[in-house]
């Protein structure tokens, strides 16, 4: 085995995807995520929630980082590791400052008739970890869901 000559990798190669910054691709991304989640061993309900979290992160990149410009690209990477599924959503748009992300107060929310601010909250409820980082002109939103069923949404 070890003599076969090709490099030994410890895990599945990553699936990656570059999608135009248009919301018409959201449904496709959601289907793709559902499929990747199923391949990673998540059940249908969990796969549906993961699809929603990735939809939200992609929507944010289109709406906020690219301010709706339709001719940019959003990169997605799916990394199926032994213990977790990791999805990174990357854009080259305006800087995200995670400290700007509001925490959600539903009562205030309704009173003020706000219609935004739920996406990040939802991602955090669904995933085990949601992090944002800026790396050489790119915003990377990293979503992690553990496979053991501990943590995250019911």
Ligand X SMILES: Nc1ncnc2c1ncn2[C@@H]1O[C@H](COP(=O)(O)OP(=O)(O)O)[C@@H](O)[C@H]1O
- In the list another protein, a copy of itself, ligand X, none, the entry touching 130 (Cβ below 5 to 8 angstroms by class) is none
Alpha-carbon distance of 22 to 9, in angstroms, equals 35
Alpha-carbon distance of 27 to 8, in angstroms, equals 35
DSSP per residue, 18-47: EEES-GGGHHHHHHHHHHHHHHTT--HHHH
Is residue 68 within the footprint of ligand X (CB under 6 A)?
A: no
The site that binds another protein (CB under 8 A) totals a number of residues, namely 37
Is residue 118 within the footprint of ligand X (CB under 6 A)?
A: yes
- In the list a copy of itself, another protein, ligand X, none, the entry touching 100 (Cβ below 5 to 8 angstroms by class) is ligand X
Instruction: Closer to ligand X by CB, 38 or 118: give it.
Output: 118
- Residues near a copy of itself (CB under 8 A) are 6-7, 9, 12-21, 24-25, 27-28, 31-32, 35-36, 39, 69, 71-73
Alpha-carbon distance of 42 to 92, in angstroms, equals 30
- In the list ligand X, a copy of itself, another protein, none, the entry touching 131 (Cβ below 5 to 8 angstroms by class) is none
Is residue 153 within the footprint of another protein (CB under 8 A)?
A: yes
Is residue 38 within the footprint of another protein (CB under 8 A)?
A: yes
Longest dimension (CA), the chain: 67
Distances in Å between the Cα of 137 and the Cα atoms of 24, 56, 80, 89, 94 are 25, 21, 26, 14, 9
3-state secondary structure at position 11 = coil
Q: Which two tokens stand for residue 92?
A: 């080259």
The CB-of-44 to another protein minimum distance in angstroms stands at 9
Instruction: Closer to another protein by CB, 56 or 88: give it.
Output: 56
């Amino acid at each position: 085995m070890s003599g076969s000559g090709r490099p030994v990798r410890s895990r599945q190669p990553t699936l990656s995807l570059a999608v135009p910054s248009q919301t018409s691709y959201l449904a496709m991304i959601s289907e793709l995520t559902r499929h990747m989640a199923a391949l990673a061993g998540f059940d249908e309900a969990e796969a549906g929630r993961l699809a929603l979290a990735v939809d939200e992160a992609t929507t944010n990149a289109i709406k906020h980082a690219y301010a709706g410009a339709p001719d940019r690209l959003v990169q997605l990477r799916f990394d199926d590791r032994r213990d977790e599924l990791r999805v990174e959503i990357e854009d080259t748009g305006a800087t995200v400052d995670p400290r700007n992300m509001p925490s959600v107060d539903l009562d205030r929310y309704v009173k003020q008739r706000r219609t935004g601010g739920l996406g990040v909250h939802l991602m955090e409820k669904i995933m085990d970890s949601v992090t944002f980082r800026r790396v050489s002109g790119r915003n990377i939103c990293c979503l992690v869901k553990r496979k053991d069923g501990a943590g995250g949404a019911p």
